[in-house]
Structure 1
Amino acid sequence: MRRVLIVMSQTGGGHRSAALALARAFDYLYDNHVRVEIVDIFRNGRRTVWEKLTDLYGPITVHSPALWAVIWHVFRQKAGFEAVVRAASPALLPKVRGLLAEARPDLVVSVHPLANPLLVRARPQVNPRLPMAVVYTDLVVVHPGWRYPGFQLYTAASKPAWEEFVRHGLPPDRVILTGLPVDIRFALSRPSPARARENLGLDPELFTLLVVGGAEGVGKIGRVVRVARQACPDAQILVVCGRNRALYRRLAAQADPLMRVYGFVENIWELMAAADVILTKAGPMTIGEGLAAGKPLIFISYIPGHEEGNAAYVVEAGAGRMGLKPRDLRTELERLRADPAYRAEMTGRAAELGRPAAALEVVRMLGSGFLGLGPE
């Protein structure tokens, strides 16, 4: 039985989603040959002040995005990032070494950039030959942590990301363009919109919008829902509030008969299959899921820093539109509702960009390349 350790952190929902997608892919492809353990590297054992700082990601991005932009741009610079790594290493490295020694993995897979320098520095004292891979969970911007040297394999979600990895000195043959590792059910279960709506207890014939604010429920979701209802008065509107319980309670109390309000969901693939159009913040994993579902995307917000380039990438490819301002959002929704040809063109562009089987592709590479496993 091979042991795989997937290292993530609960900063946002994308890293967790990617870790779960990879774990499901390992189970699907190598059920009887691989045991997968997912570890939140910053919630493992007694926590130091450095680990507690990661708890601030959600509150800062929700309540003070301008502050997050400053933090991000400091971390985006190699010098700033390395200074933080040096300061945090004395407290965190012993814990990471202990984690590796206890887990005794045959392969380590990291889906979080802040974990990468710690893993590389901890490996020599535990198992110098331990193979490690980075599975990138952003879309176009490559943080210094993502491209930290010392891993045997790096995945890239887009051509611009692949180019940035290589431009910063990583060997091209170690950086593989795979797309984002979304839930394998995007590849294995592809119901029609009508069938997906029926499965969810919705009217299969009604135009359906899905509003997603990410794991933290970021963005002016209440305003977005009001504009969506004005633009499409007869549409079904599904709203995912993530971990934002206050938003969930407020919208649930205001919901009309054609609206469904959800908290943090585990079946986003099914909700996206039911939708005609997805209104979302520009989080990379949500974008990857929307593209994997082949749906037009309207961007209603983004977190300054790592999400700024995501929307531009999708819009330039013709798979999405900007809807940051209420007037622009309403205009796009009215056109998408009234013009099936326009909607079909965006749907086609989204399907071209989408990689629904990315997690399966990544796991096959890891299984054959590092674990000696062939196809089942």
Structure 2
Amino acid sequence: MKKKIFVLYGPGGNGHRSGAQTIKEAFERKYPEHEVIIEDVIEIANTVLKFALSIYDNLIKADPKYVKYGFNLLNTMKTDKVLTPLFPKTIAILADRIKEINPDMVISVHSGINHFIVEALKKLGRFGKTPFIIVCTDLTDNFLNSWVHVESDLMIGFLEETKRQLVAYGMPAEKIKVLGGPPVNPIFSDNTLTKAQARQKFGLDDGEIFTVLIMSGGIGLKTIYTFTKQLLNSSLPVQLIVCCGRNDKLKEKVDKLAKYSKKPIKVFGFTDQVHNLMDAADVIVTKPGPGVIAEAIVKELPIVLDGLSEIMPQEAGNVEYVLSNGVGKKIGELSKFHNHIASFIYNEDELPTMRANMKRLKQTESSGKLVAWLNRILEEGVTSDFIKDESYD
């Protein structure tokens, strides 16, 4: 029987949007009879809230160090109780949209929208009738406490560390399920090209030249320019793939570097081809976002984490996850970036060791497991038997 699933996300780079798309893609493959609708709350919200929500992305683009101040402020106040009364129109607009879609389930993949969803469901008289599930897209711990809404029917975390943090923030343990690993869009595991094929697809040198993918999610951090310039000016035998996200000014600057480069380089803005760009690369240089880390692990693509940009509080645990599992390095000083890349090129053991660690860690079935759980909720509701059942897939 066909069901409707309404997945809501919000601003904050591309990770939340990617999480919503992963759910949609996995449902379409495993349960094609259902309809999954994903929407950005910022497109539904009124003008004032749109401005407020967009501040986060603008702070990251300016300098991630500013984000920690907002993070600390939000984590010291009851954001749900403070913000929701300020935007009653948003609740009304969201309620109208839920009524229009008439979903059988509502899912949130963003920490800042959960109270709005609960209030909208209450306004419609659907609270307790339409399951509301929160999928926490942060990988480890130390994330915003606004992820937790005790009135949600269920929270899904990726790791045991996630569950411990949710419980510490007040979520009842009996309303949390642990997936066992971050879900990755199936396109990263079943749409794979050889290195030569991927490099040909994007007009790169398809030989043995070492290829570095540089990116930082949908925002496009300034350090992308710094890393690109250093490698282009180096004597290292490399070619570059540079993704600037939605940062048009950054792309203009990198395009100028590419224009005069003697090394092969391809520059992209925001792209939906990351899965195949990863196929073309030997390593990825990126900020420590949970989504890109999980995607790189599935692709067995060793990671170099950008430590020049301020590490946002909610991503600090991701750095430790990468380093402790032996799947990447962190750049603490720009002067050492060249040496890190050179070590990858000339140390024959380094890349194979990291790839072996990634093979051990990768979870290609997590997205299928997640939607299997969600489908079971559609059929049975959130039952105590379901929450206790750790074997269900």
The TM-score normalised by the length of structure 2 is 0.87
Aligned equivalents of 2:185, 2:210: Cα separation in 1: 25
Structure 2 partner of 1:145 = 146
The one-letter code matched in structure 1 to 2:288 is: A
Matched, 1:10 2:18: no
Aligned equivalents of 1:187, 1:114: Cα separation in 2: 30
Structure 2 partner of 1:159 = 160
Structure 1 partner of 2:200 = 198
Structure 2 partner of 1:35 = 35
Alignment equivalent of 1:362, drawn from 362, 370, 379:
370
The one-letter code matched in structure 2 to 1:74 is: L
Structure 2 partner of 1:59 = 58
- Structure 1, 315-324 or 229-238: larger mean CA deviation: 229-238
Aligned equivalents of 2:224, 2:150: Cα separation in 1: 39
Matched, 1:311 2:319: yes
Native 8 Å contact 1:277 1:297 kept in 2: yes
Tell me the secondary structure at the aligned position of residue 145 of structure 1. Answer: helix
Structure 2 partner of 1:264 = 270
Native 8 Å contact 1:69 1:304 kept in 2: yes
Native 8 Å contact 1:281 1:302 kept in 2: no
Native 8 Å contact 2:183 2:367 kept in 1: yes
Aligned equivalents of 1:370, 1:34: Cα separation in 2: 10
Native 8 Å contact 1:162 1:177 kept in 2: no
Matched, 1:328 2:342: no
The one-letter code matched in structure 2 to 1:341 is: D
Matched, 1:180 2:179: no
> Which 5+ residue runs of structure 2 have no aligned equivalent?
382-391
Matched, 1:224 2:227: yes
Aligned residues: 371
Aligned equivalents of 2:64, 2:172: Cα separation in 1: 31
Distance apart, 1:272 and its partner CA: 1.0
The one-letter code matched in structure 1 to 2:303 is: L
Alpha carbons of structure 1 residues 87 and 372: separation in structure 2 relative to 1, 3 Å = closer
Tell me the secondary structure at the aligned position of residue 314 of structure 2. Answer: coil
- Structure 1, 156-165 or 207-216: larger mean CA deviation: 156-165
Distance apart, 1:115 and its partner CA: 1.2
Aligned equivalents of 1:124, 1:94: Cα separation in 2: 11
Aligned equivalents of 2:291, 2:366: Cα separation in 1: 12
Aligned equivalents of 2:175, 2:130: Cα separation in 1: 19
The one-letter code matched in structure 1 to 2:201 is: N
Alpha carbons of structure 1 residues 324 and 217: separation in structure 2 relative to 1, 3 Å = farther
Matched, 1:279 2:285: yes
Native 8 Å contact 1:291 1:351 kept in 2: yes
Deviation per residue, 1:285-324 (Å, 9 max, x gap): 2222112211111112355332233212211221121113
Identity of aligned residues (%): 25
Alpha carbons of structure 1 residues 67 and 83: separation in structure 2 relative to 1, 3 Å = farther
Structure 1 partner of 2:95 = 97
Alpha carbon RMSD of aligned pairs, Å?
Answer: 2.3
Alignment equivalent of 2:250, drawn from 247, 250, 255:
247
Aligned equivalents of 1:80, 1:366: Cα separation in 2: 29
Aligned equivalents of 1:5, 1:207: Cα separation in 2: 43
The one-letter code matched in structure 1 to 2:190 is: L
Correspondences of 1:80-159 after superposition (within 5 Å) = 80-126=78-124, 127-128=126-127, 129-141=129-141, 142-159=143-160
Native 8 Å contact 2:305 2:330 kept in 1: yes
Native 8 Å contact 1:8 1:16 kept in 2: yes
Tell me the secondary structure at the aligned position of residue 108 of structure 1. Answer: strand
Structure 2 partner of 1:74 = 73
